[in-house]
Amino acid sequence: MAKVEPKDGKYKLGGSKDTDLEGIDDKKYDVFTEEEKLANAKRDYPSYNWFASYTIKDKNGKDVRILPEYTIKLDRPASGEFQLYYYLNGTAHPLSHEEIEDKDNKKRVKAKLTVGDPPTGSVP
């Protein structure tokens, strides 16, 4: 697990979809990348494109399962329709999203979450 330092109110997870988290109070929470849950999501749903996994902890180091709503933003796949998912407790859950344009005119999507430790993926 690697700690992600916030910059300008964003936690930049990077990865193949240039994933960012926004709206997480950095005075209360820390964000870490998480590889084990990502590997589990890839194993359980191999046809999905799992691209980011993180966990949110309070400042005492305790995992936070539910927190105030925050935003996840990521690059939109280049073509066609797609469905966004988060993986929690061994199950892929659909995640509604909206299309936005980033400052560099890249096609992006954003979604709202309240869960603190989900891998995120899409189909295709």
State the residue for tokens 């933003």: 73
| pTM of the predicted structure, to 2 decimals | 0.91
The C-alpha atoms of residue 100 and residue 119 are separated, in whole angstroms, by 21
Q: At 103, is the pLDDT very low, low, confident or very high (cuts 50, 70, 90)?
A: low
Taking 70 as the threshold, does the pLDDT of residue 86 lie above it?
yes
The C-alpha atoms of residue 86 and residue 64 are separated, in whole angstroms, by 16
Asked whether 16 and 25 are in contact (CB, 8 A), the reply is no
The C-alpha atoms of residue 92 and residue 84 are separated, in whole angstroms, by 10
Q: In percent, how much of the chain has pLDDT > 70?
A: 99
pLDDT higher for 117 or 58?
58
Mean pLDDT taken over the chain: 92
Mean pLDDT of 64-90: 91
Mean pLDDT of 24-40: 94
